[in-house]
Structure 1
Amino acid sequence: MQILVTGAYGQLGSEIKELVSNYPDWKFLFTDVDSLDITSVTAVENYFSANKVDVVVNCAAYTAVDKAESDQETAHLVNAIAPKILAKRCRETGAKLIHVSTDYVFAGNACTPYSETDKTDPKGAYGRTKLDGENFVLAENPDAVIIRTSWLYSSFGNNFVKTMLRLGKEKEQLGVVFDQVGTPTYAADLAAAILQIVKKYEIKSSDFIPGIYHYSNEGVASWFDFTLAIFEFSGIKIKVNPVLSDQFPTPTKRPHFSVLNKLKIKNNFDIEIPYWKDSLQVCLNKLQKA
Protein backbone atom coordinates (compact mmCIF):
# COMPACT_ATOMS: atom_id res chain seq x y z
CA MET A 1 0.00 0.00 0.00
CA GLN A 2 1.30 3.47 -0.93
CA ILE A 3 0.41 6.46 1.24
CA LEU A 4 0.91 10.03 0.07
CA VAL A 5 1.50 12.49 2.92
CA THR A 6 1.32 16.16 1.94
CA GLY A 7 2.72 18.90 4.16
CA ALA A 8 5.54 16.57 5.18
CA TYR A 9 7.67 19.34 6.72
CA GLY A 10 4.97 20.38 9.18
CA GLN A 11 4.36 19.12 12.69
CA LEU A 12 1.89 16.39 11.75
CA GLY A 13 3.75 15.27 8.64
CA SER A 14 6.98 15.06 10.64
CA GLU A 15 5.28 12.95 13.33
CA ILE A 16 3.91 10.55 10.69
CA LYS A 17 7.48 10.16 9.40
CA GLU A 18 8.54 9.07 12.88
CA LEU A 19 6.05 6.17 12.74
CA VAL A 20 7.06 4.78 9.33
CA SER A 21 9.11 1.94 10.83
CA ASN A 22 5.93 0.59 12.50
CA TYR A 23 4.49 -0.10 9.03
CA PRO A 24 7.25 -1.89 7.06
CA ASP A 25 4.80 -3.19 4.44
CA TRP A 26 3.68 0.30 3.43
CA LYS A 27 5.47 2.75 1.16
CA PHE A 28 5.17 6.38 2.23
CA LEU A 29 5.42 9.21 -0.28
CA PHE A 30 6.26 12.39 1.67
CA THR A 31 5.80 15.65 -0.23
CA ASP A 32 5.75 19.35 0.51
CA VAL A 33 5.50 22.50 -1.57
CA ASP A 34 8.97 21.93 -3.06
CA SER A 35 8.10 18.47 -4.46
CA LEU A 36 4.34 18.67 -5.14
CA ASP A 37 2.24 21.80 -5.64
CA ILE A 38 -1.16 20.60 -4.44
CA THR A 39 -2.72 23.91 -5.54
CA SER A 40 -2.06 22.89 -9.17
CA VAL A 41 -4.50 20.52 -10.88
CA THR A 42 -1.86 19.58 -13.45
CA ALA A 43 0.82 18.88 -10.82
CA VAL A 44 -1.53 16.66 -8.80
CA GLU A 45 -2.75 14.78 -11.89
CA ASN A 46 0.83 14.20 -13.06
CA TYR A 47 1.89 12.98 -9.61
CA PHE A 48 -0.98 10.49 -9.43
CA SER A 49 -0.18 9.30 -12.96
CA ALA A 50 3.47 8.70 -12.03
CA ASN A 51 2.76 7.13 -8.63
CA LYS A 52 0.23 4.57 -7.47
CA VAL A 53 -1.52 6.21 -4.50
CA ASP A 54 -3.83 4.19 -2.24
CA VAL A 55 -4.34 6.73 0.57
CA VAL A 56 -3.72 10.48 0.82
CA VAL A 57 -3.18 12.11 4.21
CA ASN A 58 -3.43 15.86 3.64
CA CYS A 59 -1.46 17.57 6.41
CA ALA A 60 -0.72 20.64 4.27
CA ALA A 61 -2.32 23.87 5.47
CA TYR A 62 -1.87 27.62 5.69
CA THR A 63 -1.79 27.91 9.48
CA ALA A 64 -0.60 31.49 10.07
CA VAL A 65 -3.90 32.49 11.67
CA ASP A 66 -3.30 36.25 11.90
CA LYS A 67 -1.41 36.54 8.60
CA ALA A 68 -4.36 34.86 6.85
CA GLU A 69 -6.39 38.06 7.39
CA SER A 70 -4.06 40.04 5.10
CA ASP A 71 -3.22 37.12 2.79
CA GLN A 72 -6.65 35.59 2.25
CA GLU A 73 -5.94 34.62 -1.36
CA THR A 74 -3.05 32.33 -0.42
CA ALA A 75 -4.89 30.95 2.61
CA HIS A 76 -7.88 30.09 0.38
CA LEU A 77 -5.63 28.49 -2.23
CA VAL A 78 -3.87 26.21 0.29
CA ASN A 79 -6.75 25.55 2.71
CA ALA A 80 -9.67 25.28 0.28
CA ILE A 81 -8.60 24.84 -3.36
CA ALA A 82 -5.80 22.32 -2.71
CA PRO A 83 -8.02 19.93 -0.68
CA LYS A 84 -10.65 20.22 -3.43
CA ILE A 85 -8.09 19.20 -6.07
CA LEU A 86 -6.86 16.27 -3.95
CA ALA A 87 -10.41 15.14 -3.17
CA LYS A 88 -11.35 15.10 -6.86
CA ARG A 89 -8.23 13.18 -7.85
CA CYS A 90 -8.77 10.65 -5.06
CA ARG A 91 -12.34 10.08 -6.24
CA GLU A 92 -11.16 9.63 -9.83
CA THR A 93 -8.44 7.13 -8.92
CA GLY A 94 -10.16 5.32 -6.05
CA ALA A 95 -7.66 6.51 -3.43
CA LYS A 96 -8.89 7.24 0.09
CA LEU A 97 -8.46 10.75 1.48
CA ILE A 98 -7.89 11.78 5.10
CA HIS A 99 -7.95 15.57 5.36
CA VAL A 100 -6.99 17.50 8.51
CA SER A 101 -9.06 20.51 9.58
CA THR A 102 -9.41 22.73 12.66
CA ASP A 103 -11.49 23.81 15.64
CA TYR A 104 -11.45 27.33 14.14
CA VAL A 105 -14.47 26.39 12.00
CA PHE A 106 -16.54 27.07 15.16
CA ALA A 107 -17.41 30.45 16.69
CA GLY A 108 -16.05 29.36 20.07
CA ASN A 109 -19.00 30.54 22.15
CA ALA A 110 -20.30 27.13 23.26
CA CYS A 111 -20.17 25.77 26.80
CA THR A 112 -20.18 22.04 26.02
CA PRO A 113 -17.75 20.16 23.73
CA TYR A 114 -18.42 20.65 20.02
CA SER A 115 -19.71 17.62 18.15
CA GLU A 116 -19.24 17.09 14.41
CA THR A 117 -22.85 18.12 13.68
CA ASP A 118 -22.75 21.42 15.57
CA LYS A 119 -23.19 24.64 13.60
CA THR A 120 -20.00 26.04 12.10
CA ASP A 121 -19.40 29.79 12.25
CA PRO A 122 -15.73 30.73 11.76
CA LYS A 123 -14.72 34.19 12.92
CA GLY A 124 -11.62 34.73 10.79
CA ALA A 125 -10.08 34.06 7.38
CA TYR A 126 -8.18 31.00 8.59
CA GLY A 127 -11.32 29.32 9.91
CA ARG A 128 -13.36 30.33 6.85
CA THR A 129 -10.80 28.92 4.40
CA LYS A 130 -10.52 25.69 6.38
CA LEU A 131 -14.32 25.34 6.41
CA ASP A 132 -14.38 25.99 2.66
CA GLY A 133 -11.84 23.19 2.34
CA GLU A 134 -14.06 20.80 4.30
CA ASN A 135 -17.08 21.64 2.15
CA PHE A 136 -15.12 21.28 -1.09
CA VAL A 137 -13.72 17.91 0.01
CA LEU A 138 -17.14 16.49 0.87
CA ALA A 139 -18.71 17.89 -2.32
CA GLU A 140 -15.98 16.38 -4.52
CA ASN A 141 -15.50 13.17 -2.55
CA PRO A 142 -18.17 12.14 0.00
CA ASP A 143 -16.04 9.07 0.78
CA ALA A 144 -13.35 11.19 2.51
CA VAL A 145 -12.50 11.38 6.20
CA ILE A 146 -12.05 14.87 7.67
CA ILE A 147 -10.42 15.22 11.10
CA ARG A 148 -10.74 18.50 12.99
CA THR A 149 -8.08 19.02 15.62
CA SER A 150 -6.99 21.78 18.01
CA TRP A 151 -3.97 23.42 19.65
CA LEU A 152 -1.45 21.20 17.86
CA TYR A 153 2.13 21.01 19.15
CA SER A 154 5.10 18.73 18.56
CA SER A 155 8.84 18.37 19.06
CA PHE A 156 9.02 19.41 15.39
CA GLY A 157 8.41 22.85 13.90
CA ASN A 158 7.33 26.03 15.65
CA ASN A 159 4.54 25.85 18.23
CA PHE A 160 3.27 27.14 21.56
CA VAL A 161 5.27 24.65 23.67
CA LYS A 162 8.58 25.66 22.07
CA THR A 163 7.72 29.36 22.32
CA MET A 164 6.94 29.04 26.05
CA LEU A 165 10.15 27.08 26.70
CA ARG A 166 12.15 29.87 25.03
CA LEU A 167 10.29 32.67 26.84
CA GLY A 168 10.59 30.80 30.15
CA LYS A 169 14.37 31.05 29.88
CA GLU A 170 14.39 34.67 28.71
CA LYS A 171 11.87 36.34 31.03
CA GLU A 172 11.12 36.61 34.73
CA GLN A 173 7.35 36.68 34.26
CA LEU A 174 4.77 36.19 31.54
CA GLY A 175 1.14 37.09 30.91
CA VAL A 176 -0.91 34.29 29.33
CA VAL A 177 -4.61 34.31 28.46
CA PHE A 178 -6.91 32.27 30.69
CA ASP A 179 -10.24 32.97 28.98
CA GLN A 180 -9.59 30.77 25.92
CA VAL A 181 -10.32 27.12 26.70
CA GLY A 182 -9.64 24.06 24.58
CA THR A 183 -7.39 21.01 24.54
CA PRO A 184 -3.69 20.87 23.62
CA THR A 185 -3.06 18.09 21.09
CA TYR A 186 0.24 16.28 20.68
CA ALA A 187 0.76 15.82 16.94
CA ALA A 188 2.36 12.41 17.55
CA ASP A 189 -0.94 11.15 19.00
CA LEU A 190 -2.92 12.45 16.03
CA ALA A 191 -0.39 10.88 13.64
CA ALA A 192 -0.81 7.51 15.36
CA ALA A 193 -4.62 7.81 15.19
CA ILE A 194 -4.52 8.60 11.46
CA LEU A 195 -2.32 5.59 10.72
CA GLN A 196 -4.63 3.42 12.84
CA ILE A 197 -7.51 4.48 10.56
CA VAL A 198 -5.40 3.60 7.51
CA LYS A 199 -4.56 0.22 9.04
CA LYS A 200 -8.23 -0.56 9.65
CA TYR A 201 -8.91 0.30 6.00
CA GLU A 202 -6.12 -2.04 4.86
CA ILE A 203 -7.51 -4.93 6.91
CA LYS A 204 -11.14 -4.32 5.96
CA SER A 205 -12.04 -1.61 3.43
CA SER A 206 -15.57 -1.19 4.82
CA ASP A 207 -14.04 -0.06 8.13
CA PHE A 208 -13.07 3.22 6.46
CA ILE A 209 -16.15 5.14 7.55
CA PRO A 210 -16.28 8.53 5.80
CA GLY A 211 -17.36 11.79 7.39
CA ILE A 212 -16.19 14.51 9.75
CA TYR A 213 -14.43 13.57 12.99
CA HIS A 214 -12.96 15.39 15.97
CA TYR A 215 -9.59 14.54 17.51
CA SER A 216 -7.72 16.25 20.31
CA ASN A 217 -6.14 14.90 23.44
CA GLU A 218 -8.45 14.26 26.40
CA GLY A 219 -9.15 16.90 29.03
CA VAL A 220 -9.64 20.65 29.05
CA ALA A 221 -7.23 23.53 29.62
CA SER A 222 -6.79 27.25 29.09
CA TRP A 223 -3.60 28.60 27.53
CA PHE A 224 -2.70 29.68 31.07
CA ASP A 225 -3.12 26.10 32.37
CA PHE A 226 -1.14 24.77 29.41
CA THR A 227 1.71 27.19 30.13
CA LEU A 228 1.83 26.30 33.84
CA ALA A 229 2.10 22.60 32.94
CA ILE A 230 4.91 23.27 30.43
CA PHE A 231 6.94 25.12 33.04
CA GLU A 232 6.15 22.67 35.84
CA PHE A 233 7.21 19.61 33.79
CA SER A 234 10.32 21.42 32.50
CA GLY A 235 11.44 22.67 35.92
CA ILE A 236 11.36 26.30 34.77
CA LYS A 237 10.78 28.80 37.57
CA ILE A 238 8.84 31.80 36.27
CA LYS A 239 5.84 33.81 37.37
CA VAL A 240 2.87 33.37 35.02
CA ASN A 241 0.06 35.92 35.22
CA PRO A 242 -3.45 35.10 33.94
CA VAL A 243 -4.69 37.80 31.57
CA LEU A 244 -7.81 38.41 29.46
CA SER A 245 -7.75 38.04 25.66
CA ASP A 246 -8.64 41.73 25.37
CA GLN A 247 -5.18 42.55 26.73
CA PHE A 248 -3.63 40.80 23.72
CA PRO A 249 -5.51 42.18 20.68
CA THR A 250 -4.82 40.18 17.50
CA PRO A 251 -6.07 40.49 13.89
CA THR A 252 -8.05 37.26 14.34
CA LYS A 253 -10.58 36.65 17.10
CA ARG A 254 -9.64 33.39 18.82
CA PRO A 255 -12.38 30.96 19.90
CA HIS A 256 -13.04 31.34 23.65
CA PHE A 257 -14.18 27.71 23.83
CA SER A 258 -13.06 25.03 21.39
CA VAL A 259 -13.21 21.75 23.31
CA LEU A 260 -14.03 18.93 20.89
CA ASN A 261 -16.26 15.90 21.48
CA LYS A 262 -14.23 12.85 20.37
CA LEU A 263 -16.86 10.14 20.87
CA LYS A 264 -17.39 9.50 17.14
CA ILE A 265 -13.75 8.85 16.25
CA LYS A 266 -13.30 6.66 19.34
CA ASN A 267 -16.35 4.56 18.52
CA ASN A 268 -15.90 4.25 14.75
CA PHE A 269 -12.17 3.53 14.73
CA ASP A 270 -11.51 2.06 18.22
CA ILE A 271 -9.07 4.86 19.01
CA GLU A 272 -7.82 5.42 22.55
CA ILE A 273 -6.89 9.03 23.25
CA PRO A 274 -4.26 10.04 25.84
CA TYR A 275 -4.80 12.77 28.45
CA TRP A 276 -3.19 16.06 27.39
CA LYS A 277 -0.82 16.32 30.37
CA ASP A 278 0.51 12.80 29.80
CA SER A 279 1.24 13.58 26.16
CA LEU A 280 2.82 16.93 27.04
CA GLN A 281 5.22 15.09 29.37
CA VAL A 282 6.17 12.71 26.53
CA CYS A 283 6.85 15.61 24.15
CA LEU A 284 8.91 17.54 26.71
CA ASN A 285 10.97 14.45 27.50
CA LYS A 286 11.72 14.10 23.79
CA LEU A 287 12.70 17.78 23.51
CA GLN A 288 15.01 17.51 26.54
CA LYS A 289 16.84 14.57 24.95
CA ALA A 290 17.27 16.38 21.63
Structure 2
Amino acid sequence: MKILVTGANGQLGYDLRRVLSQAGHEVTGLGRDGLDVCNGVQVKVVIEMIRPDAVVHAAAYTAVDKAEVEVDEAFRVNTDGSRNIAVAAESVGAKVCYISTDYVFDGNSERPYREYDLVHPASIYGQSKLGGEILTQTLSSRYFIVRTSWVFGIGGGNFVKTMLKLGQERDALQVVNDQKGSPTYTVDLASFIGDLIVSDGYGVYHASNTGSCTWYEFAKAIFEASGLAVTVNPCTTAEFPRPAPRPRNSTLDHVAIRTNGFSELPHWRDALHRFLGELNTE
Protein backbone atom coordinates (compact mmCIF):
# COMPACT_ATOMS: atom_id res chain seq x y z
CA MET A 1 0.00 0.00 0.00
CA LYS A 2 1.20 3.51 -0.81
CA ILE A 3 0.89 5.65 2.34
CA LEU A 4 1.48 9.36 2.94
CA VAL A 5 2.27 10.33 6.53
CA THR A 6 1.87 14.01 7.45
CA GLY A 7 3.68 15.34 10.50
CA ALA A 8 6.36 12.75 9.76
CA ASN A 9 8.98 14.46 11.92
CA GLY A 10 6.78 14.44 15.01
CA GLN A 11 6.72 11.90 17.81
CA LEU A 12 4.07 9.64 16.28
CA GLY A 13 5.20 10.38 12.73
CA TYR A 14 8.65 8.99 13.51
CA ASP A 15 7.25 5.58 14.46
CA LEU A 16 4.59 5.61 11.75
CA ARG A 17 7.31 5.87 9.12
CA ARG A 18 9.35 3.16 10.78
CA VAL A 19 6.54 0.69 11.56
CA LEU A 20 4.66 1.08 8.28
CA SER A 21 7.85 0.70 6.23
CA GLN A 22 8.80 -2.44 8.17
CA ALA A 23 5.34 -3.83 7.34
CA GLY A 24 6.17 -3.56 3.65
CA HIS A 25 4.26 -0.41 2.74
CA GLU A 26 5.58 2.28 0.41
CA VAL A 27 5.74 5.22 2.83
CA THR A 28 6.23 8.89 2.03
CA GLY A 29 6.73 10.93 5.18
CA LEU A 30 6.46 14.71 4.99
CA GLY A 31 7.14 17.22 7.76
CA ARG A 32 6.25 20.89 7.85
CA ASP A 33 9.04 21.80 5.42
CA GLY A 34 7.75 19.35 2.82
CA LEU A 35 4.03 19.89 3.30
CA ASP A 36 2.33 22.90 4.85
CA VAL A 37 -1.13 21.51 5.62
CA CYS A 38 -2.47 25.07 5.89
CA ASN A 39 -1.67 25.65 2.21
CA GLY A 40 -4.59 24.05 0.40
CA VAL A 41 -3.04 24.44 -3.05
CA GLN A 42 0.22 22.80 -1.98
CA VAL A 43 -1.64 19.96 -0.26
CA LYS A 44 -3.64 19.31 -3.43
CA VAL A 45 -0.54 19.34 -5.65
CA VAL A 46 1.48 17.04 -3.36
CA ILE A 47 -1.30 14.49 -2.86
CA GLU A 48 -2.15 14.43 -6.57
CA MET A 49 1.54 13.87 -7.32
CA ILE A 50 2.00 11.05 -4.77
CA ARG A 51 -1.47 9.55 -5.29
CA PRO A 52 -1.41 7.56 -2.03
CA ASP A 53 -3.86 4.79 -1.16
CA ALA A 54 -4.09 6.24 2.34
CA VAL A 55 -3.09 9.40 4.18
CA VAL A 56 -2.25 9.16 7.87
CA HIS A 57 -2.73 12.74 9.00
CA ALA A 58 -0.56 13.16 12.09
CA ALA A 59 0.46 16.79 11.51
CA ALA A 60 -1.00 18.98 14.25
CA TYR A 61 -0.65 22.06 16.43
CA THR A 62 -0.08 20.42 19.82
CA ALA A 63 0.95 23.28 22.14
CA VAL A 64 -2.03 22.88 24.46
CA ASP A 65 -1.38 25.92 26.65
CA LYS A 66 -0.12 28.22 23.90
CA ALA A 67 -3.29 27.46 21.90
CA GLU A 68 -5.30 29.41 24.48
CA VAL A 69 -3.52 32.51 23.14
CA GLU A 70 -2.77 31.43 19.56
CA VAL A 71 -6.39 30.51 18.90
CA ASP A 72 -6.42 31.22 15.17
CA GLU A 73 -3.21 29.29 14.57
CA ALA A 74 -4.54 26.22 16.39
CA PHE A 75 -7.69 26.22 14.25
CA ARG A 76 -5.74 27.01 11.08
CA VAL A 77 -3.57 23.92 11.51
CA ASN A 78 -5.86 21.43 13.23
CA THR A 79 -9.19 22.29 11.62
CA ASP A 80 -8.49 23.99 8.28
CA GLY A 81 -5.39 21.89 7.64
CA SER A 82 -7.39 18.71 8.18
CA ARG A 83 -10.00 19.97 5.72
CA ASN A 84 -7.27 20.48 3.13
CA ILE A 85 -6.00 16.93 3.65
CA ALA A 86 -9.50 15.41 3.47
CA VAL A 87 -10.45 17.25 0.27
CA ALA A 88 -7.20 16.39 -1.52
CA ALA A 89 -7.28 12.75 -0.38
CA GLU A 90 -10.87 12.37 -1.55
CA SER A 91 -9.93 13.72 -4.98
CA VAL A 92 -7.53 10.79 -5.53
CA GLY A 93 -9.69 8.19 -3.78
CA ALA A 94 -7.39 7.84 -0.76
CA LYS A 95 -8.47 6.75 2.70
CA VAL A 96 -7.83 9.25 5.51
CA CYS A 97 -6.69 8.35 9.02
CA TYR A 98 -6.95 11.45 11.21
CA ILE A 99 -5.09 11.36 14.52
CA SER A 100 -7.16 13.02 17.24
CA THR A 101 -7.07 13.34 21.00
CA ASP A 102 -8.69 12.64 24.35
CA TYR A 103 -9.02 16.44 24.71
CA VAL A 104 -12.25 16.34 22.68
CA PHE A 105 -13.82 15.28 26.02
CA ASP A 106 -14.18 17.51 29.07
CA GLY A 107 -13.01 14.79 31.47
CA ASN A 108 -16.06 14.81 33.74
CA SER A 109 -17.12 11.22 33.04
CA GLU A 110 -16.91 8.70 35.86
CA ARG A 111 -16.12 5.89 33.40
CA PRO A 112 -13.75 5.51 30.43
CA TYR A 113 -14.92 7.35 27.33
CA ARG A 114 -16.43 5.35 24.47
CA GLU A 115 -16.06 6.41 20.85
CA TYR A 116 -19.55 7.83 20.45
CA ASP A 117 -19.88 9.52 23.83
CA LEU A 118 -20.81 13.19 23.64
CA VAL A 119 -17.77 15.33 22.87
CA HIS A 120 -17.32 18.54 24.84
CA PRO A 121 -13.77 19.95 24.62
CA ALA A 122 -12.81 22.38 27.39
CA SER A 123 -9.68 23.79 25.70
CA ILE A 124 -8.93 25.57 22.43
CA TYR A 125 -6.64 22.68 21.46
CA GLY A 126 -9.47 20.19 21.99
CA GLN A 127 -11.93 22.37 20.08
CA SER A 128 -9.56 22.72 17.12
CA LYS A 129 -8.94 18.96 17.00
CA LEU A 130 -12.68 18.32 17.14
CA GLY A 131 -13.04 20.70 14.20
CA GLY A 132 -10.61 18.50 12.30
CA GLU A 133 -12.66 15.43 13.17
CA ILE A 134 -15.88 17.01 11.93
CA LEU A 135 -14.42 18.18 8.62
CA THR A 136 -12.69 14.83 8.02
CA GLN A 137 -15.97 12.99 8.60
CA THR A 138 -17.83 15.44 6.36
CA LEU A 139 -15.39 15.56 3.45
CA SER A 140 -13.90 12.05 3.33
CA SER A 141 -15.98 9.06 2.27
CA ARG A 142 -13.50 6.57 3.77
CA TYR A 143 -12.11 7.82 7.05
CA PHE A 144 -10.70 6.58 10.34
CA ILE A 145 -10.67 8.93 13.34
CA VAL A 146 -8.13 7.66 15.89
CA ARG A 147 -8.25 9.36 19.28
CA THR A 148 -5.27 8.73 21.49
CA SER A 149 -3.81 10.11 24.72
CA TRP A 150 -0.72 10.62 26.88
CA VAL A 151 1.61 9.73 24.00
CA PHE A 152 5.26 8.80 24.51
CA GLY A 153 7.89 7.62 22.04
CA ILE A 154 11.48 7.94 20.94
CA GLY A 155 10.80 10.64 18.35
CA GLY A 156 9.82 13.58 20.55
CA GLY A 157 9.48 15.15 23.97
CA ASN A 158 7.07 13.50 26.39
CA PHE A 159 6.24 12.90 30.05
CA VAL A 160 8.49 9.84 30.38
CA LYS A 161 11.56 11.68 29.06
CA THR A 162 10.76 14.70 31.24
CA MET A 163 10.50 12.55 34.38
CA LEU A 164 13.77 10.76 33.61
CA LYS A 165 15.54 14.10 33.12
CA LEU A 166 14.10 15.59 36.33
CA GLY A 167 14.86 12.37 38.20
CA GLN A 168 18.54 12.80 37.44
CA GLU A 169 18.47 16.39 38.71
CA ARG A 170 16.30 16.11 41.83
CA ASP A 171 15.71 13.75 44.74
CA ALA A 172 11.99 14.51 45.03
CA LEU A 173 9.20 15.58 42.68
CA GLN A 174 5.57 16.62 42.95
CA VAL A 175 3.23 15.16 40.33
CA VAL A 176 -0.51 15.66 39.94
CA ASN A 177 -2.65 12.81 41.21
CA ASP A 178 -6.14 14.03 40.22
CA GLN A 179 -5.87 13.63 36.43
CA LYS A 180 -6.40 10.10 35.13
CA GLY A 181 -5.76 8.81 31.63
CA SER A 182 -4.36 6.18 29.29
CA PRO A 183 -0.64 6.29 28.37
CA THR A 184 0.14 5.37 24.75
CA TYR A 185 3.44 4.14 23.28
CA THR A 186 3.86 5.39 19.71
CA VAL A 187 5.24 2.03 18.51
CA ASP A 188 2.05 0.27 19.63
CA LEU A 189 -0.17 3.03 18.24
CA ALA A 190 1.62 2.99 14.87
CA SER A 191 1.26 -0.79 14.69
CA PHE A 192 -2.49 -0.54 15.30
CA ILE A 193 -2.83 2.21 12.69
CA GLY A 194 -1.03 -0.06 10.23
CA ASP A 195 -3.64 -2.78 10.84
CA LEU A 196 -6.47 -0.28 10.66
CA ILE A 197 -5.71 1.45 7.37
CA VAL A 198 -5.57 -1.77 5.34
CA SER A 199 -9.09 -2.61 6.56
CA ASP A 200 -12.53 -1.33 5.65
CA GLY A 201 -13.50 -0.76 9.28
CA TYR A 202 -14.14 2.94 8.85
CA GLY A 203 -15.26 5.08 11.78
CA VAL A 204 -14.07 6.44 15.12
CA TYR A 205 -11.57 4.54 17.27
CA HIS A 206 -10.02 5.02 20.68
CA ALA A 207 -6.46 3.71 20.68
CA SER A 208 -4.28 3.78 23.78
CA ASN A 209 -2.40 1.18 25.74
CA THR A 210 -4.75 -0.75 28.02
CA GLY A 211 -5.05 0.17 31.67
CA SER A 212 -5.13 3.64 33.19
CA CYS A 213 -3.32 5.68 35.82
CA THR A 214 -2.84 9.16 37.19
CA TRP A 215 0.22 11.21 36.27
CA TYR A 216 1.52 10.52 39.80
CA GLU A 217 1.10 6.76 39.33
CA PHE A 218 2.73 6.98 35.91
CA ALA A 219 5.72 8.87 37.36
CA LYS A 220 6.16 6.30 40.13
CA ALA A 221 6.11 3.49 37.56
CA ILE A 222 8.71 5.30 35.44
CA PHE A 223 11.15 5.61 38.33
CA GLU A 224 10.54 2.05 39.53
CA ALA A 225 11.15 0.66 36.04
CA SER A 226 14.22 2.82 35.42
CA GLY A 227 15.81 2.21 38.81
CA LEU A 228 16.07 5.91 39.68
CA ALA A 229 15.73 6.59 43.42
CA VAL A 230 13.32 9.52 43.39
CA THR A 231 10.61 10.35 45.92
CA VAL A 232 7.37 11.19 44.12
CA ASN A 233 4.79 13.16 46.09
CA PRO A 234 1.18 13.52 44.92
CA CYS A 235 -0.34 16.96 44.45
CA THR A 236 -3.48 18.48 42.93
CA THR A 237 -4.05 20.21 39.61
CA ALA A 238 -4.97 23.35 41.56
CA GLU A 239 -1.44 23.47 42.96
CA PHE A 240 -0.02 23.65 39.41
CA PRO A 241 -2.43 25.85 37.42
CA ARG A 242 -2.01 25.88 33.62
CA PRO A 243 -3.56 28.18 31.00
CA ALA A 244 -5.52 25.35 29.35
CA PRO A 245 -7.84 23.12 31.40
CA ARG A 246 -6.91 19.43 31.54
CA PRO A 247 -9.48 16.61 31.57
CA ARG A 248 -9.91 15.13 35.06
CA ASN A 249 -10.57 11.70 33.56
CA SER A 250 -9.70 11.08 29.91
CA THR A 251 -9.33 7.31 30.11
CA LEU A 252 -10.33 5.79 26.77
CA ASP A 253 -12.46 2.67 26.30
CA HIS A 254 -11.58 0.70 23.15
CA VAL A 255 -15.04 -0.46 22.08
CA ALA A 256 -14.42 -0.06 18.33
CA ILE A 257 -11.13 -1.98 18.49
CA ARG A 258 -12.94 -4.91 20.12
CA THR A 259 -16.10 -4.89 17.98
CA ASN A 260 -14.15 -4.62 14.71
CA GLY A 261 -11.90 -7.56 15.52
CA PHE A 262 -8.63 -5.74 16.15
CA SER A 263 -6.22 -6.63 18.95
CA GLU A 264 -6.11 -4.37 21.99
CA LEU A 265 -2.83 -2.57 22.53
CA PRO A 266 -0.62 -4.04 25.31
CA HIS A 267 -0.85 -2.75 28.89
CA TRP A 268 0.82 0.60 29.48
CA ARG A 269 3.27 -0.88 32.02
CA ASP A 270 4.48 -3.36 29.40
CA ALA A 271 4.76 -0.51 26.89
CA LEU A 272 6.74 1.60 29.36
CA HIS A 273 9.29 -1.18 29.91
CA ARG A 274 9.75 -1.62 26.16
CA PHE A 275 10.15 2.13 25.68
CA LEU A 276 12.78 2.35 28.41
CA GLY A 277 14.61 -0.50 26.69
CA GLU A 278 14.47 1.43 23.42
CA LEU A 279 15.85 4.54 25.14
CA ASN A 280 18.73 2.52 26.59
CA THR A 281 19.77 1.28 23.14
CA GLU A 282 19.91 4.76 21.59
**TM-score scaled by length of structure 2:** 0.97
1:239 counterpart = 2:242: no
Contact 2:180 2:248 in 1 (8 A): yes
- 1:41 equivalent in structure 2: 40
- 2:241 equivalent in structure 1: 249
Counterpart secondary structure, 1:57: strand
The residue identity in structure 2 corresponding to 1:134 is: E
- 2:268 equivalent in structure 1: 276
- 2:14 equivalent in structure 1: 14
State the alpha-carbon separation in 2 of the partners of residues 21 and 12 from structure 1: 14
1:251-272 CA distance string (max 9 Å, x none): 0110000011102123314223
- 2:196 equivalent in structure 1: 197
Counterpart secondary structure, 2:191: helix
State the alpha-carbon separation in 1 of the partners of residues 144 and 273 from structure 2: 29
The residue identity in structure 2 corresponding to 1:215 is: A
Counterpart secondary structure, 2:72: helix
Contact 1:44 1:86 in 2 (8 A): yes
Contact 1:142 1:211 in 2 (8 A): no
- 2:139 equivalent in structure 1: 140
Give the percent of matched residue pairs that are identical in Structure 1 and Structure 2.
Answer: 41
- 2:182 equivalent in structure 1: 183
- 1:90 equivalent in structure 2: 89
State the alpha-carbon separation in 1 of the partners of residues 11 and 18 from structure 2: 11
- 2:53 equivalent in structure 1: 54
Contact 1:97 1:145 in 2 (8 A): yes
Contact 2:204 2:256 in 1 (8 A): no
C-alpha displacement of 1:142: 4.0
State the alpha-carbon separation in 2 of the partners of residues 241 and 128 from structure 1: 32
1:222 counterpart = 2:214: yes
Contact 1:142 1:210 in 2 (8 A): no
C-alpha displacement of 1:231: 0.4
> Structure 1 stretches (4+) deviating beyond 3 angstroms?
none
Contact 1:152 1:184 in 2 (8 A): yes
Counterpart secondary structure, 1:179: coil
1:167-212 CA distance string (max 9 Å, x none): 000011100000000111101110000011123x3xxxxxx12211
**Aligned in 2, Cα 1:262/1:128: closer, same or farther, shift over 3 Å?**
same
In terms of mean alpha carbon deviation, does 260-269 or 73-82 score higher?
260-269
Counterpart secondary structure, 2:35: coil
C-alpha displacement of 1:245: 0.4
1:60-139 matched pairs, under 5 angstroms: 60-139=59-138
State the alpha-carbon separation in 2 of the partners of residues 244 and 112 from structure 1: 20
- 1:30 equivalent in structure 2: 29
Counterpart secondary structure, 2:173: strand
The residue identity in structure 2 corresponding to 1:39 is: C
RMSD: 1.1
**TM-score scaled by length of structure 1:** 0.95
The residue identity in structure 1 corresponding to 2:270 is: D
The residue identity in structure 2 corresponding to 1:160 is: F
- 1:204 equivalent in structure 2: none
**Alignment length (residue pairs):** 282
State the alpha-carbon separation in 2 of the partners of residues 42 and 263 from structure 1: 37
Counterpart secondary structure, 1:19: helix
In terms of mean alpha carbon deviation, does 218-227 or 135-144 score higher?
135-144
